[in-house]
Amino acid sequence: GAVVSQHPSRVICKSGTSVKIECRSLDFQATTMFWYRQFPKKSLMLMATSNEGSKATYEQGVEKDKFLINHASLTLSTLTVTSAHPEDSSFYICSARNLNTEAFFGQGTRLTVV
């Protein structure tokens, strides 16, 4: 199947700093990308949907100024967690697809804010 690469796989940052997570579709053009957050032993919670070249659509309760999403090209979307705090520590997962494919998921990024 298609490959979605997420980087980094793990990151530790200090409170108050910002961290960027990249999501790349390696062998197809992703017209739509999704970002999820997952707490331990819990389900994936959709944070936002982004379409290439347009602003992301955030789910209710997700702060768009806190979680900045950029989908500038058909193969790359980024999630920036701004002014991170310990409660932002979580597993972040991206997903990518186009009109002809199912959604493929990245391997996830484990964020720890200390």
Contacts of 70 (CB under 8 A, 6+ apart): 50, 77, 78, 80
Q: Are the C-beta atoms of 4 and 26 separated by less than 8 Å?
A: yes
Choose the stretch contacting other proteins; rule: CB under 8 A; options: 11-19, 70-78, 80-88, 97-105: 97-105
Choose the stretch contacting other proteins; rule: CB under 8 A; options: 14-22, 68-76, 77-85, 93-101: 93-101
Region of 88 please: left (phi>0), alpha (psi -120 to 50) or beta: alpha
- The yes or no reply on residue 44 touching other proteins (CB under 8 A) is yes
Contacts of 19 (CB under 8 A, 6+ apart): 11, 13, 80, 81, 84, 111
Encoded one letter per residue, x for contact with other proteins by CB under 8 A and - for no contact, window 57-76 reads: --x-----------------
Choose the stretch contacting other proteins; rule: CB under 8 A; options: 14-22, 39-47, 65-73, 79-87: 39-47
- The yes or no reply on residue 54 touching other proteins (CB under 8 A) is no
Dist. CA 62–CA 96, nearest whole Å:
20
Binding interface with other proteins (CB under 8 A):
1, 4, 6, 32, 34, 41-46, 49, 59, 91, 93-95, 97, 99, 102-108, 110
